[in-house]
Amino acid sequence: MDKLIFHVDVNSAFLSWTAVKMLKEEPGSIDLRTIPSAIGGDVSKRHGVITACSIPAKKQGVRTGEPVMRSLEKCPSLRLFPSDFKTYREYSAKFIDILKKYALAVEQVSIDEAYLDMTGTDEPITKAEKIKEEIYESLGFTVNIGISTIKLLAKMASDFEKPYKVHTLFPEEIKEKMWTLPIEKLHGCGYKTSEKLKNIGVKTIGDAAKLDKALLCSLLGEKSGEYIYESANGRGSDVVSGEREAAKSYSNETTLPTDIRVSTYDKEMPPVIHWLSESVGKRLTKDEAAGYTISVIAKTSSFKRRSKQTTLVEPTNDIKDIESISLILMRELCFGERGLFNENDGIRLVGVGVSNLAENECKQLDIFSYMKEKSAQDEIRLNESKKKEKTDKLDTMLKKINEKYGEGKIKKGG
C-alpha cells in the first residue's frame, strides 16, 4: 500500500492566533487578517522586525524578516502587535490535538505545521477538507493542506495557492504542477543554490530534474547536488515519526529583505538579533533547557557564510544574556579583524544559536538562587569550623589536665 501523507500548515500563524484571541476577547472588533497588520518588534517604539503579516499588508509590500520601520514606510497605516508566545503555544497545542484525531502518526515540525500519516484513507481530499473545516470552526483560524506520498511533495503542495486551500502533488502530477515552478520554489533550495543553478541556465525545477546528477554534485557539492536532483525528481522520505528527538541545539535564522550594511548596522542589526534571541530563549525555557555555547552566523550578499561563538562558564536560557552576547559576537564578526564589512559586503542572512546543552539534571541557577545556596553552604562550613575549633580547644585542655594529674583521670563528658 502506498503511503499517504498530509502536510498541514497554519496560514500566517502568529497573526492569525493574535486575531482570533482579540475577536474572542472583543466580539465585534475588526479582524486583523482583513486589514494591513503585522506582528513584530516593540510596538511602542516601533522598532524590531516583522515576524508575520496579513495578506492586505503583503499586497502593500510588507515582508516578514524586514525592519518594522521599513514596513511602516511602505504601509503607514500598518497596525502593529507584539509577539505573544503564550497564546501561540496554546493554539498550537489545540491545533495538534485536532490533527491527532485523524492520523496514524503526527510529526510536528514547528509550532504551526505538521505531517500526518494518513495511509489507507479513502477520499483523501474529502478528509483534508474535513480537517481544515474542523480547525476553522473549532479554533477560528485557517490552514493549508498538501497531500502526497512523500513529505517533500506534501510540503510543496501545501505552499501552493493560499489561504485555506487543499492541494495534491502526487508523483504523476510532478511534471505539470512542480516542474514548471521557478527553481527557488523547490523546498530546501536556498538563495545561494538557486543563483548557482540559474547561472548555468537552470530556471525551473524541471530543468534541475533533467540535469545529470554528477553535474549537479560537481557544481553544488555531493550532498547538495544529490538533494536537488532527488527532490526535483520527486523523491524523498515517507516516514512520519510521531516522536521528536531531544534537541541537541536551539537556533533560528532569518533571510533579510535587503542587505544590512555598515551605514545601517546600528539601526537594523539590533532588532533582528533581539527577535532571534527571543525566539531561541523562549524555546529553551519551554523545554527547560539551557546551553553553554552561544553562536551567531551571517551570510553575505556574495554568499560567504561565517560564524562566531563563545562558551560560558554557566549554561543559560536567559533572553537578555543570549541577546547581549550575540550582539557582541555579531559586531566582532562584522567589524573585527577580517570582519565581513572589511570586504565591503552586505549581510543578507542572520542567525543566533545556543548549543552544548547542559544535562537535564544540571538545572541552571539564577543569581539569587546561587547566592542563597552559596550562603547556606558557607554557613554550614562556618558552623563546622567553629565546632572543630571548640573540639580542638577541649582536646588541648584535657591533654594538659591529664599530663598534670595523670592519664585518664578526666575524660570528655566526665
* 84 appears as a binding residue in the annotation: no
Nearest alpha-carbon partner for 7 in 92, 123, 110, 80:
110
> Does residue 356 sit in helix, strand or coil?
strand
Q: What are the residue ranges of helices labelled H in 310-366?
A: 319-335
Backbone angles phi, psi at 351, to 5 degrees: -140, 150
Backbone angles phi, psi at 92, to 5 degrees: -60, -45
Rounded distance, CA 171 to CA 31, Å? Answer: 39
> Cell 492541494 identifies what position?
167
E runs forming strands in 317-396: 347-357
Rounded distance, CA 3 to CA 293, Å? Answer: 40
Nearest alpha-carbon partner for 229 in 257, 260, 202:
202
* 321 appears as a binding residue in the annotation: no
> 66, 113, 278, 323: which one is catalytic?
113
> Cell 562550613 identifies what position?
381
Rounded distance, CA 49 to CA 68, Å? Answer: 5
Rounded distance, CA 396 to CA 406, Å? Answer: 15
Cα 258 from chain centre = 21
Q: Which helix (H) or strand (E) holds 296?
A: strand 291-300
Provide CB contacts within 8 A for 223, sequence distance 6+.
Answer: none
Provide CB contacts within 8 A for 10, sequence distance 6+.
Answer: 16, 17, 95, 112, 113, 141, 142, 143
- The grid cell for 159 is 505552499
Q: Which helix (H) or strand (E) holds 176?
A: none
Rounded to the nearest 5 percent, the helix, strand and coil shares of the chain are 50, 20, 30
Q: What is the 3-state secondary structure (H, E, C) of 70-108?
A: HHHHHCCCCEEECCCHHHHHHHHHHHHHHHHCCCCEEEE
Q: Is the dihedral of CA 319, 321, 326, 327 positive or negative?
A: positive
Rounded distance, CA 256 to CA 273, Å? Answer: 12
Q: Is 226 a catalytic residue?
A: no
Residues of each annotated binding site for Mg(2+): 9, 112
Annotated catalytic sites, by residue? 113
